[in-house]
Amino acid sequence: MSLFDWFANRRKSGPISEDRQEREIADGLWTKCEHCDVLTYTKDLRANQWVCGECGHHHRIFSDERIHQLIDANTWQPLDPHIQPKDPLGFKDRKAYSDRLRDTQAKTQLTDAVQTGLGQLEGLPIALGVMDFRFMGGSMGSVVGEKLTRMIEQGTRDRRAVIIVCASGGARMQEGMLSLMQMAKISGALQQHQAAKLLYMPILTHPTTGGVTASFAMLGDIILAEPKATIGFAGRRVVEQTLREKLPDDFQTAEYLQDHGFVDLIVPRTQLKATLAQLIRLHQPVSPTAPHSSAPMAAWKNGSSPVVTTPTRADD
């Protein structure tokens, strides 16, 4: 529904009082696009998976919404929701780390910066981890590392494809070396998953930076990204000072990384679920006892998929 249509419908139902108009705006009925400033009816924006219908801008969404978009209804099984973060270093900056954790948990209703679980994506069994930028910038602490590792190991045991939606500022400084250790731990679990010849796909969203980029975000068999996502390790200023040269304006965007071979596919959010399903059907091992179907490959050859290339595994 366009802005014009909405006002036309309201005009038919009678004049809108100032109090009613202010109440509707205050209740979040409209959302202003951060990129083009167009006002969109929030219900329509949600139906379009929070992608602006005017300019295609991908609004930031969080873990609950992402799970709803990717996982079939009534198939989500959370893993390890009871694991709680600790404060092993007794860290304190402007606020004690323990207090910061408690306040963030109350605000987001999350235990930490990732939700993990098992579910079905278009009927295909997967193991899914979704990072949440609301929780201390999606920073990777011990709980994030532990939950992702357990999720990957469960996916390996069940012979499921693993998908991780990345959104993070990097390692959590309040946990020091313990945070950095999660990079190796998650990478080790992914190595076992790959040794079982199972598919792993990270989805890089805005932003994916720091130690997450330096580890599991770039270890996928097929690396996907959302349009215009910021992806990198260090910030632009640090890189420019290190290299002593000016970087391109689009440096550390998904499009720049795809042009330079770091990202395989850039997929609009509205096509993401269908693309993931087709990639899983193409690459997951086929049981010798299961009936073989050439339909997915035929669809690929006929050009019905939004995917434009067929990445191959390094170990095939």
Residues 114 and 258 reside in one and the same domain: yes
CATH of residue 167: 3.90.226.10
Dihedral-angle region of residue 17 (phi above 0 means left; psi in -120 to 50 means alpha; beta otherwise): beta
Residue 316 inside a domain? The answer is: no
245: DSSP letter: S
Residue 78 is inside which H or E element, if any?
Answer: strand 77-78
**pLDDT tens digits for range 100-120:** 999 999 999 999 999 999 999
Both tokens of residue 2?
């366009």
Are residues 102 and 10 located together in one domain of the fold? no
Question: What is the mean predicted confidence (pLDDT) over 86-106?
Answer: 95
Q: Are residues 216 and 80 in the same domain?
A: yes
Task: Indicate if 71 and 209 belong to the same structural domain.
Answer: yes
Regarding whether 143 and 227 lie in a shared domain, the answer is yes
Q: Does residue 294 lie within any of the structural domains?
A: no
Q: Is residue 305 part of a domain?
A: no
**Are 93 and 195 part of one and the same domain?**
yes
Domain that holds residue 15: 1-59
pLDDT 10s digits, 16-34: 455 554 455 556 799 999 9
Q: What is the mean pLDDT of residues 117-141?
A: 97
Query: Per residue in 195-238, pLDDT tens?
Result: 999 999 999 999 999 999 999 999 999 999 999 999 999 988 99
Shared domain for 44 and 90, answered yes or no, is no
203 membership: H or E segment, kind and range: strand 200-208
18 and 116 inside one domain? no
Instruction: Report the alpha-carbon distance of residue 113 to residue 63 in Å, rounded.
Output: 9
| 315 in any annotated domain | no
Q: Structural domain tally of the chain?
A: 2
Residues 18 and 66 in one domain: no
Q: Cα–Cα distance between 57 and 52 in angstroms, integer?
A: 5
Residues 249 and 240: their CA atoms lie apart, in Å, by 12
- Mark whether 47 and 123 lie in a shared domain: no
Whether 303 maps to a domain, the answer reads: no
* Residue 301 maps to a domain: no
pLDDT tens digits, one per residue of 231-248 = 999 988 999 999 899 989
Residue 299 lies in a domain: no
Residues 6+ apart with CB under 8 A from 224: 201, 202, 203, 204, 263, 264, 265, 266, 267, 272, 275, 276
R_g over Cα of the chain: 21
Dist CA 58 CA 65 (whole Å): 13
| 144 found inside a domain | yes
Amino acid identity for residue 311 in this structure: P
Residues 6+ apart with CB under 8 A from 309: 264, 265
Q: Give how far the C-alpha of residue 256 lies from the chain's centroid of Cα atoms, to the nearest Å.
A: 19
Same domain, 38 and 87: no
List pLDDT tens digits, range 144-173.
999 999 999 999 999 999 999 999 999 999
Q: 268 and 169 share a domain?
A: yes
Q: Is the pLDDT of residue 6 over 60?
A: no
